Structure 1
Amino acid sequence: MCTDHMKHAINTAVFAAMACLAWTPAFAQGRLSLLEQGEYVCALPGDATGAAWIEQEGRDFAITGGSSYRTAKGSGTYLMEGKRVLFTRGPMRGARFMRLGSRLLQEVGRDGKLGRLRCHRAGPLKS
């Protein structure tokens, strides 16, 4: 009977250790980092008959420092791991982007594929 309790305790300890390891940064997809501070403008590609880019009203945001952002509707936080950006709190919660360059993000859909919306850093923070 004592052996059964020991096996259960060992199995529980091993499971707990494995669960802890799964959440460590060593298992992350990339280094945690930050987006460049400033105002970001979001747009969809246009076509040959009109504007090259069509700005999307209400989708713009500003990276304000640390892992914080603000929009016209409020502020929140984001997490950038490698090239992936996930907005974790606030009005953009759940929005996912892929960083294509130091100043360019492309939206990632729920299916994991790149979408058409792109956001670029347009300049420094406005007061």
Structure 2
Amino acid sequence: MSTLPIGTYTCELPGDAGGAPGKLVPEYEFRIVNSSSYKAGGIRGSYLFVGDRVTMTGGKHKGLKLHRISSNFLRQVKDDGRDGEMRCVLSAHN
């Protein structure tokens, strides 16, 4: 088991081919507050990080699954286990 770096993760959907930037998804933003806890929308929750998969096990995002692509980059995992479009990036270290 591992932990994510402490800080705020900003989530977005990709932009379009016309050059539009990514579309922020503020309702998915979260902040890692210690080794296995996060805060989102003022609610504290917990997460489990095993291998390259992060699963929110409590709190506002309970059930959300993420694939760690790199140390500061996560991608939402769809119900079928494949990577989805939403990405979450460590945007601020606390």
TM tier, smaller: over 0.9
Aligned to 1:51: 20
Worse-superposed segment, 69-78 or 37-46: 69-78
Q: What is the CA-CA distance between 1:83 and the residue it aligns to?
A: 0.4
Q: What is the CA-CA distance between 1:58 and the residue it aligns to?
A: 1.1
- TM-score calculated relative to the size of structure 1: 0.71
Aligned to 1:36: 5
Larger Rg: 1
> Segments of 4+ in structure 1 off by > 3 A?
none
Name which structure has the greater RCO, CA cutoff 8 Å, separation 6+: 2
Q: What is the CA-CA distance between 1:50 and the residue it aligns to?
A: 4.3
Q: What is the CA-CA distance between 1:48 and the residue it aligns to?
A: 2.4
Q: What is the CA-CA distance between 1:52 and the residue it aligns to?
A: 2.5
Q: What is the CA-CA distance between 1:72 and the residue it aligns to?
A: 1.2
Percent identity between matched residues is 37
Q: What is the CA-CA distance between 1:123 and the residue it aligns to?
A: 1.0
Aligned to 2:51: 82
Indicate the structure with greater strand content: 2
Separation of aligned partners in 1, 2:33 and 2:46: 10
- TM-score calculated relative to the size of structure 2: 0.95
Aligned to 2:68: 99
1:64 aligns with 2:33: yes
* Structure 2 counterpart of 1:116, from 85, 89, 93: 85
Separation of aligned partners in 2, 1:73 and 1:50: 34
C-alpha RMSD over aligned residues: 1.0
